[in-house]
Amino acid sequence: MPVEIIMSHSKRILVIFEGLNPRPEAVQYSLALAQRIDAKITFLVLLPNESAGDDPIARGEEVLRKEADSIAAAGVEAEFQIRIGDPRSEFYKFMASRPSFHTAIWGGDEKVLEHGGARMSDHWVSAVGNELYCPLVAPRKR
CATH number at residue 24: 3.40.50.620
**Residue 59 domain flag:** yes
**Residue 112 domain flag:** yes
**Residue 54 domain flag:** yes
pLDDT value of residue 112: 67
**Residue 77 domain flag:** yes
**Residue 10 domain flag:** no
68 class by beta-carbon count within 10 Å (0-12 exposed, 13-18 middle, 19+ buried): middle
Q: Enter the DSSP assignment of 47.
A: E
pLDDT value of residue 121: 59
**Residue 26 domain flag:** yes
**Residue 6 domain flag:** no
SS3 at position 98:
coil
pLDDT value of residue 7: 42
Ranges of the chain whose pLDDT falls below 50: 4-9, 115-119
CA 26 – CA 104 distance, rounded (Å): 10
Number of domains composing the chain: 1
CA proximity to 107, closest of 29, 12, 11, 35: 29
Backbone phi and psi for residue 104, each to the nearest 5 degrees, phi listed first: -110, 140
Kindly report the pTM of this predicted structure.
0.81
Owning domain of residue 44: 19-137
CA 127 – CA 121 distance, rounded (Å): 8
**Residue 117 domain flag:** yes
CA 109 – CA 44 distance, rounded (Å): 14
pLDDT value of residue 33: 94
CA 113 – CA 105 distance, rounded (Å): 13
pLDDT value of residue 20: 81
